[in-house]
Amino acid sequence: MARETGGGYSESGGNRSLPRWEDHRAMFEEYLEGLTFSEEPQFSGLVESMRYSMLAGGKRVRPTLCMEVARVFGAGPGHVLPAAAAVELIHTYSLIHDDLPAMDDDDYRRGRLTTHRKYGEALAILSGDAFFGEAMLLLTDRQEGSCEQLLEAVHELAGATGVNGMVGGQVVDVRNTGAGSGIDPETLALIHTFKTGSLIRAAARIGAVLAGAAEGDKEAVSEYAGELGLCFQIVDDLLNATSTPEELGKSAGSDAAREKATFVGVYGLDGASREANASLERSLYALSRLSPEERELSGLREMAFFVRNRAR
Amino acid sequence: MARETGGGYSESGGNRSLPRWEDHRAMFEEYLEGLTFSEEPQFSGLVESMRYSMLAGGKRVRPTLCMEVARVFGAGPGHVLPAAAAVELIHTYSLIHDDLPAMDDDDYRRGRLTTHRKYGEALAILSGDAFFGEAMLLLTDRQEGSCEQLLEAVHELAGATGVNGMVGGQVVDVRNTGAGSGIDPETLALIHTFKTGSLIRAAARIGAVLAGAAEGDKEAVSEYAGELGLCFQIVDDLLNATSTPEELGKSAGSDAAREKATFVGVYGLDGASREANASLERSLYALSRLSPEERELSGLREMAFFVRNRAR
């Protein structure tokens, strides 16, 4: 099923003949840095907490994916910056809420104190809440595009975050925490299809929508991104099981300690590695169905390998 | 500044010559009852928790206001049901999160256990989160209207819930909890302009937008609703200070016990009553600037009196 992939699995995300990924990320960080949300002095504490969370670095997989997909379909990557930021704000809110004491109860994220440990639980909950409205405002007020394109982008982002999206997946994940390796593979797949996959699919699809891609291309790019998201999560589980806290920038081994349902728990280290490779192959196959020319797709192929081979 | 209001302040919300309010509410409850969000069995626990919260009754001020405003501008009240529900879902999420231990720490709401007391804190946080996406999906997937109208509705709802809306107001409210009567009137006004006022303004404005109202009418109806929201909050404070738990359906006197910043704390009982009356007058003045004929506005006038005179 896999197409010719050029360098096989040894081709890494560090291939510097394609520096687009870093260019997108630098452009995105600069855009994000400029978001200040409010001039009202009374809201400065809220804005500070939001900016603490959203400017903590991170891989920026979702926004750069959105930008690269837009580029592939003929728009400038800068064209979709507001939409890319909207997706990243939703991602940021989900991290803040996932870290809360009632959920994963994490003290560290990306090497820094989590939002509730830094600003208190109330402000953490509310910072997460505020990101949702601000994300939608970026789409309606800052993003350029036809009315139909913008409304479709709103629809995609809303769907990715509702019951049949990120939140549904997170609920099933929370419920199965403690189940450890006792979880069935179907439930594990469902958790991550929704919890991680929904938003990554939306990021890619929104890039395609705003670049005016055809329906078939939107479908294929969604499938590519869904596999990217799945692969991302499997690799997350692998890293959590095998890394030191210093390597990871957060508490390593924490999944096992909580008996969270993970791919490593269900398939073992080797089995999870194979699942990640299979997901990578499927993502590359989806790429082969896109209408743009082969050479235009090199960035997306690189991203798939990066997600598979990243060390943190 | 006040216009001729017919029956003065003694005209109550119980005026049964204008039964529209109850008709809207019955129609709205039926629509809300039909929202099930997902067919996925794994998400049934999430859906149950969401429906527990959203079907707990309540006054439905925001959705019925949205419906009545749409009617005033020539659309059927049933036309805006998805948008009205979207607004109510956002309101419901804010109640769930406000009740959390890290915020107001309330055990009861509308005479029943709060969501986190019934379903646990993790599911309460996530139910709130899920409502946001589902609200936006109602606007993009279920609401009829031109693309421009729908996008404007999304913009209004997003703005009402972001930093410069409901969440900003809530943050300042939480920060001033414990300040009691020590808060300055300007901060108190700011809290409620944003915390309660934003969403009520959006409810009314979205009704006007979807009915195709002119820009000046949208402005006036926003102003009317903003005053309605302010009045609503002042009356909430009055009721909290003077009612029994049975009358209120939640813990009475809890604001004072927490030293929350309230209009009663700042202005006293008589002063807060006067503020509520002044707000009612301003809302009626805003109504007088609307272009529809006087007799079409009777429902909105009744609603203003209802909000001022309600006993719970």
Query: What ipTM describes this predicted complex?
Result: 0.90
- The Cα of B44 is separated from the nearest Cα of chain A by a number of Å equal to 9
State the pLDDT at residue B29.
Answer: 97
| A244 vs A63: CA distance, rounded Å | 27
Q: Give me the residue from B102, B129, B135 closest to A121, CB to CB.
A: B102
- The Cα of A213 is separated from the nearest Cα of chain B by a number of Å equal to 19
- Which residues of chain B are within 8 Å of residue A129 when distances are taken between CB atoms? 93-94, 97, 128, 132, 161, 167
**What's at A247, amino acid-wise?**
E
A192 CB-near residues (< 8 Å, 6+ apart): A169, A229, A230, A233, A234
Closest CA relative to residue A227, chosen from A192, A256, A255: A192
Q: Are A203 and A62 in contact (CB under 8 A)?
A: yes
A287 CB-near residues (< 8 Å, 6+ apart): A3, A220, A224, A297, A300, A301, A304
What average pLDDT does range A176-188 have in this prediction?
83
- pLDDT digit string (tens) for chain B, length 312 residues: 333 333 333 334 444 444 788 999 999 999 999 999 999 999 999 999 999 999 998 889 999 999 999 999 999 999 999 999 999 999 999 999 999 999 989 999 888 999 999 999 999 999 999 999 999 999 999 999 999 999 999 999 999 999 999 999 999 999 988 776 678 999 999 998 999 899 999 999 999 999 999 999 999 999 999 999 999 889 989 998 987 766 666 565 666 666 778 899 899 999 999 999 999 999 999 999 999 988 899 999 988 998 899 877
| A304 vs A298: CA distance, rounded Å | 10
Give this prediction's pTM.
Answer: 0.91
State the pLDDT at residue B243.
Answer: 78
Q: Give me the residue from A100, A135, A148 closest to B147, CB to CB.
A: A148
- Which residues of chain A are within 8 Å of residue B136 when distances are taken between CB atoms? 136, 154-155, 157-158, 162
State the pLDDT at residue A7.
Answer: 33
State the pLDDT at residue B38.
Answer: 98
- The Cα of B285 is separated from the nearest Cα of chain A by a number of Å equal to 28
- Tally Cβ neighbours within 10 Å of residue A15: 16
Q: Give me the residue from A122, A159, A174 closest to B103, CB to CB.
A: A122
Q: Are B136 and A154 within 8 A, CB to CB?
A: yes
Q: How wide is the angle at C-alpha A280 spanned by C-alphas A277 and A285, nearest 5°?
A: 130
State the pLDDT at residue B266.
Answer: 92
Average pLDDT value over all residues in chain B: 89
Tokens (6 digits) for B45? 């626990």
Helix axes A298-309, A61-72, angle to 10 degrees: 160
| Residue-wise DSSP of A247-301 | HHTS-TTHHHHHT---HHHHHHHHHHHHHHHHHHHHHHHHHHT-SS-GGGGHHHH
State the pLDDT at residue B135.
Answer: 98
Domains of chain A: 8-309 (1.10.600.10)
State the pLDDT at residue A257.
Answer: 66
- Tally Cβ neighbours within 10 Å of residue B153: 29
